[in-house]
């Protein structure tokens, strides 16, 4: 009986020794920046506009940021240091990072995979080179990686309740927990708002075009040299955190077939009839060029991400001859403009 008990004890001791030996054979990657981008901040709500517009449609990407990372990794070794170690990007669970009723989700895209859950992405590269303090990082595994961070409206914006002021977004290194860690910070700075842009003054613009000598008109088309330039001025929320563009569209009574030329009908003030001889033409400025607007079609002139508080939309009005000979008269055209965001 004593012999059997002794053998049993020896077998158990041997098993414990084997497990101890296995637990010591592990390797961990040490990763850091090689050049270029040197910031472990994925998002800092203290450094960028931090107000969320609540009336945006669900599914709108409110903000996006691509991080172009130039990195190196080497092995910090204990045990089997000759074995290759794969490099991973580990994303964290961000489904309710800003609160379950925030209606906001942080998405992370790695190599085309867009997600907000905890994921482990094997980058398909590995290294067995050991990390040695002071050694040039050029001798380690060097690689490039792009990471896309997006703030998306995924529900109704009710209450912001971030899990903490600093939240891990992803890390780079060994599977599960990388040594190079990226966070979003100052989440308490986020607020909801309905303020976007407002037109300066009452928003109405009335002006007269230069008087036109009809004897100088001999052909159908744009009449140059009789223009009036003006701006539609807006006051905008410079703290709005959004990738949304600001758009304008112009509508009114047009001329069939000339909608893409920015042609709006003139009404004869003496008869009340629409003129079939002369019309108004509206242009928008695009750099150094003036382009005809298309009736009812939106054009983009700014983005909220620029952080501006005022913006001016330069427009030009002029004449367009519908016939080669014109009759004298006084005319009026009314054009409606609409500001939208998308």
> Is the separation of the CB atoms in 257 and 336 below 8 Å?
no
Q: What are phi and psi of 223, to 5 degrees?
A: -105, 110
Domain boundaries, the chain: 25-193, 197-341
Angle (CA) 136-138-139 rounded to 5° is 80
pLDDT at 11: 34
Among candidate residues 74, 70, 75, the one with its CA nearest the CA of residue 39? 70
CATH classification code of 197-341: 2.60.40.1090
Tokens 């700075």 belong to residue: 189
- Residue 16 scores a pLDDT above 80: no
Query: pLDDT digits over 226-247, tens only?
Result: 999 999 998 887 766 566 788 9
Q: Are 249 and 337 in contact (CB under 8 A)?
A: yes
Q: Note the CATH number of domain 25-193.
A: 2.60.40
User: Would the pLDDT of 80 be above 90?
Assistant: no
Q: What is the pLDDT of residues 24-79, one digit of tens each?
A: 334 589 999 997 668 899 988 887 667 777 877 899 888 889 999 999 999 987 65
Question: How many other CB atoms are found less than 10 A from the CB of residue 97?
Answer: 20
Please indicate whether the domains covering 25-193 and 197-341 agree at the CATH topology level: yes
Q: For 119-141, what is each residue's pLDDT tens digit?
A: 999 999 999 999 988 889 999 99
């Amino acid at each position: 009986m004593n012999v059997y008990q002794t053998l049993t004890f020896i077998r158990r001791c041997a098993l414990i020794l084997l497990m101890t030996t296995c637990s010591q054979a592990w390797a961990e990657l040490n990763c850091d920046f090689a050049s270029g981008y040197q910031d472990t901040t994925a998002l800092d709500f203290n450094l960028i506009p931090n107000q969320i517009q609540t009336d945006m449609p669900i599914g709108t990407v409110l903000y996006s940021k691509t991080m172009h990372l130039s990195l190196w990794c080497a092995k910090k070794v204990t045990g089997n240091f000759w074995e290759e170690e794969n490099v991973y990007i580990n994303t964290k669970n961000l489904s309710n990072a800003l609160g379950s009723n925030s209606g906001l989700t942080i998405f992370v895209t790695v190599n085309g995979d867009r997600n907000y859950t905890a994921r482990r992405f094997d980058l398909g590269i590995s290294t067995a080179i050991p990390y040695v303090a002071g050694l040039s990082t050029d001798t380690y595994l060097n690689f490039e990686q792009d990471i896309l961070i997006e703030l998306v409206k995924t529900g109704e914006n009710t209450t912001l309740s971030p899990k903490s002021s600093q939240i891990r977004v992803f890390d780079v290194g060994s599977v599960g927990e990388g040594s190079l860690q990226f966070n979003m910070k100052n989440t308490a700075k986020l607020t909801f708002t309905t303020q976007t842009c407002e037109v300066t003054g009452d928003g109405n613009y009335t002006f007269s075009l230069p008087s036109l000598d009809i004897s100088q008109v001999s052909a159908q088309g744009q009449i140059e040299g009789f223009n009036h330039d003006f701006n539609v001025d807006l006051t905008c929320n410079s703290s709005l955190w959004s990738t949304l563009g600001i758009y304008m569209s112009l509508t009114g009574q047009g001329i069939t077939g000339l909608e893409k030329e920015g042609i709006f009908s003139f009404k004869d003030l003496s008869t009340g009839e629409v003129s079939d001889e002369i019309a108004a033409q509206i242009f928008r400025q695009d750099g150094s060029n003036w382009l005809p607007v298309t009736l009812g079609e939106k054009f983009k002139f700014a983005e909220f991400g620029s952080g501006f508080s005022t913006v001016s939309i330069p427009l030009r009005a002029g004449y367009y001859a519908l016939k080669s000979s014109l009759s004298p008269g006084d005319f009026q055209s009314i054009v409606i403009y609409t500001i939208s965001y998308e």
